[in-house]
Chains A and B, each alone.
Chain A
Amino acid sequence: MNGRTFPLFQRCLLVLIATASLIGLVGCGPSGYQPIDESKVLFWDRQTTETADLLRDIIAEFNAQHPGLPVEAQYSGGYSDIFRKVSSSIQARRLPAMAVAYESMTIEYAQAGAIVELDPFVADPEIGLDADDLADFFPVVLDTNRYVDAGDKMLSFPFCKSVLMMYYNRTVLGEAGLDAPPATWDEFLAQCRAVKAATGKTPAAVDVDASTVDGMIYSMGGDVVRDGKTLFDTPESLAVFALYETLAKEKLCYQIPPGSYDDRDAFAQDEIAFFFRSSSHRTYVADAMGLTDRWGMARIPQADPAQPRTVLYGPNVCIFRTNPEQERRAWEFVKHFTSPEVNVRWALNSGYLPIRRSAARDPRIQEFWAEWPDNRASYDCLEFARSEPNIAGWQEVRDLIETAVTGVLTGERTAEAAVQELKTKADAVISGYLP
């Protein structure tokens, strides 16, 4: 290197730094979001196959009936892909009109100032919802879209709702001389032992999932978060982990690979007696086993069957800050989608639950229930289902919950130790620990 090395090098570096800071400035400035496409109301979604077709049909009808900017759904990968795409888009300041999102994702977007509050739309005399309409929704499906961290504002609207259910295999239970599914967790454990003893089969397959754990804690009579602290060290929560511990120790359950549906497959082939999943899985089980009396769906076991509880699942749709025209149009679509007529159609064909009480009076739903009474059970759960915490950082707490369950199931942690560790780490996360 000699004296002349520097100018060229320095010049390059200067240009780079200048451009970098330019991007940095533009990237970190406040608000000023724009739509990705001015001419379309984009909806980032994850539906594939039949439900995607149904959604497209519903959108096409909406576009035909309501002249204006056309709505267009775009498949954008799974939830984590959509989260990544939206996060990148927030950084780039160009957003779709709406996207499917879990509460934990919505609150992250909201903290970046990218979410449109829905309360003004709901209250709008022209395009809003009246009191009767609002009363028709099950309270829980709306409440879950109000965010404590955003001053209790409504930031999203229900899209694909379902509840945690227990699927039981009558053939396997019958082999152990059992004729009814368990109503309490004690009965559940007893039935598992009976099945194991009578058939040698492993009675339950476990998909390690934070929502399921929340639902089980609810069913034990407990809660997950109160006043900015988690409640994982409470007896109700410990009971859930202790149950997992017992199941694992006595080899009454096995864990399935994350993202797989081995539980469903094993169930369809009468290898297991129980699995716990969202009510929306009914369509897939029905595909594999038919609408026979070989299997059934029931609410999850309870600590106290007189006061049942379960968890409300499923993504919502959130509207992003783009421009007033797009935002309004997106709301109109959301309203249309959750109208009684469309909601019933969606529920009948997608496997998700109708979210309005009036659905129960719809003749198509009644016919459907007559044909398949178990679905009534999941709909009835909506009266007492509870949503999961929708506070900032919950995305990370979900991972911590799943790690804790894995630790117990693999025998690497005792229930006691797992619960303590989970409590400490989760509290640190939600108390705003942000490195």
Chain B
Amino acid sequence: MDSLLGWLDDRFDGLSRRSHRDTPIAVFLIAPAVTILGVFGVLPLILSVYLSLYAGRGINMHFIGLGNYTRALTSEAFWNSFAVTLYYVVGTVPVSLAISFVVAGGLYRVIRGRGLLRTVYFLPYVTSVVAAATVWRVLLDPRVGIANATLSALGWIGDAPPQWLLEPRGVLHLLSGGWIPSGVGPSLALVCVMVFDIWHTSGFMIVILLAGLSAIPRELEESALIDGAGWYKRNRHIVLPLLSPSLFFLLIVGVIRAFQAFNSFYALTGTGRGPLDTTQNMTVLIFTNLYQYQRVGFGAAVATLLALAIVTLTLVQWRFVGRRVHYE
């Protein structure tokens, strides 16, 4: 093995010396990844953009230029899905980050049983979304689910048990007793999907943050404790700045993931669209159009718009949040 690598190195070295660059060895190193990503990632991407300029049901396609884009940007379905996507991103990423930050902080200070607790918190992340969602569907089933069984045992259910994943009315509407109009904010069904996602991904964030915390010198915190700094002060001035690279990483990755979320929607609601389309995020809209209605061009156009939204948001975060990240 070593001699093979050495022999290859010598060959590449010979090639490099002539060109005064690392190009030959770099081509060798990136070739497998670039080939696969080019063929199965970039190619479909180009094809998708190309198809977004056509109308038709996947056959007899004809060119219509930007027609699909104008249709998307003027359609109720698109803006509805955009709102659902935004609710979802805002409702999951910061919440799971906050929960993970608090839990990781707690776990870090626990000496005995930390390993076990950490394992338990990480557990949902290793289970398949399809299997876990299957379980959650039963948990939230209005009739046999433990959610309503618990509420009714507590005597909190009148003659209208919560419908969870079937409820299109806004959660703010329900909580405010009807004072806030139903269409404002996410539906209860969407909130259920959010809670599922928070449950499923927080373990991952906790482990990353815990690892980040382990890198913080203990003395720093102890001296702060001696100074009499409270929980908030310690976190705000010591822990948060030192964890900021990890938090920033989780934010970027979490936002991209949340924008593209599909499996949990599909597995929890059956179609992804949910009651009155209130869980139809952009990916579900794309999926429905591509595979349910055979509107290939329209679906592809929404996909391009989604990708643009993700790129824009990632760059914005990089600029405005990234600046505030504290690197040692």
A and B touch in the complex (CB under 8 A): yes
**B19's closest neighbor in chain A, by CB?**
A4
Contact of A84 with B141 in the complex, beta carbons under 8 Å: no
Min CB distance B234 to A, Å, is 46
Q: For residue B295, which residue of chain A has the nearest CB?
A: A435
Binds A, one of B39-47, B235-243, B257-265, B318-326: B39-47
Type the 1/0 row for B260-296, where 1 means its CB is closer than 8 Å to any CB of A.
Answer: 0000000001110101110000000000000111110
Task: List B contacts of A28 (CB < 8 A).
Answer: 59, 61
Residue of B at shortest CB range from A434? B55
Instruction: Decide yes or no whether A257 CB sits under 8 A from chain B.
Output: yes
Query: Which residues of chain B have C-beta atoms less than 8 A from A396's C-beta?
Result: 292-293
Q: Give the residue name and chain of the B residue nearest to A84 (CB).
A: B291
Of the candidate stretches A291-299, A382-390, A404-412, the one touching chain B is A404-412
Which of A13-21, A45-53, A156-164, A320-328 sits within the interface?
A13-21
Nearest chain A residue, comparing its CB with the CB of B168 = A410
Cβ–Cβ contact A434 & B57, under 8 A: yes
Query: How many angstroms from the CA of A19 to the CA of B39 in the assembled complex?
Result: 9
Q: In the complex, what residues of A have CB within 8 A of residue B14's CB?
A: none
A416 neighbours in B (Cβ, 8 Å):
none
User: B198 within 8 Å of A by Cβ?
Assistant: no
A400 CB to nearest B CB, Å: 10
- B58 CB-CB contact with A under 8 Å: yes
Please pick, from A20, A83, A251, A254, the residue contacting B43 in the complex, using a CB distance under 8 A.
A20
Does B56 lie at the interface of the complex (its beta carbon under 8 Å from any beta carbon of A)?
yes
The closest CB in chain B to the CB of A258 belongs to B270
With beta carbons under 8 angstroms apart, the residue of A12, A20, A90 that contacts B58 is A90
Interface size on B, residues (CB 8 A): 47
B17 → chain A closest CB, angstroms: 17
Q: How many residues of A contact B (CB 8 A)?
A: 41
Q: Which of A257, A259, A412 has the most CB of B within 10 A?
A: A257
Q: Does A395 contact B (CB under 8 A)?
A: yes
Chain B contacts for A87, CB-based, 8 A: 58, 291, 294
- B169 engages A410 (CB within 8 Å): yes
Does B276 lie within 8 Å of A410, measured CB to CB?
A: yes
Complex alpha-carbon distance, A23 and B75, angstroms: 31
Residues from chain A with Cβ under 8 Å of B50 in the complex: 20, 24
Task: Bits for A85-119, please: 1 = Cβ < 8 Å to B, else 0.
Answer: 00100110000000000000000100111000000
Contacts of A20 in B (CB 8 A): 43, 46-47, 50
Interface residues of A in 236-281 (CB under 8 A from B): 251, 254-260, 262, 265-266
Given contacts A23-B47, A412-B182, contact A112 B55 (CB under 8 A): no
Q: A399 an interface residue at 8 Å Cβ cutoff?
A: yes
User: How close is B196's CB to chain A, nearest CB, in angstroms?
Assistant: 14
Instruction: Please report the C-alpha to C-alpha distance between residue A230 and residue B58 in the assembled complex, in whole angstroms.
Output: 25
Task: Identify which of B4-12, B117-125, B158-166, B215-223 touches chain A.
Answer: B158-166
Q: Does A171 contact B (CB under 8 A)?
A: no
A435 touches which of B38, B68, B166 (Cβ 8 Å): B68
- The reply to whether B59 and A112 contact each other, CB–CB distance below 8 Å, is yes
Q: How far is the CB of B65 from chain A (nearest CB, A)?
A: 13
Let me know if A406 and B47 touch, CB within 8 A. Answer: no
Q: Does B13 contact A (CB under 8 A)?
A: no
Nearest to B42 among chain A residues (CB) is A16
Cβ 8 A contact of A112, one of B46, B57, B163, B297: B57
Chain B residues near A406 (CB-CB < 8 A): 168, 275-276
Q: Which B residues from 27 to 57 make CB contacts under 8 A with A? A: 34, 38-39, 42-43, 46-47, 50, 55-57
Closest Cβ–Cβ distance, residue A399 to chain B (whole Å): 7
Whether B233 sits at the interface, judged by CB under 8 Å, is: no
Q: List 29 A-B contacts (CB under 8 A).
A: A15-B38, A16-B38, A19-B39, A20-B50, A23-B47, A28-B59, A28-B61, A87-B291, A90-B59, A113-B59, A254-B142, A255-B163, A256-B143, A257-B142, A257-B165, A257-B166, A265-B143, A395-B293, A396-B292, A396-B293, A399-B292, A406-B276, A410-B163, A410-B169, A410-B276, A434-B57, A435-B68, A435-B297, A435-B298
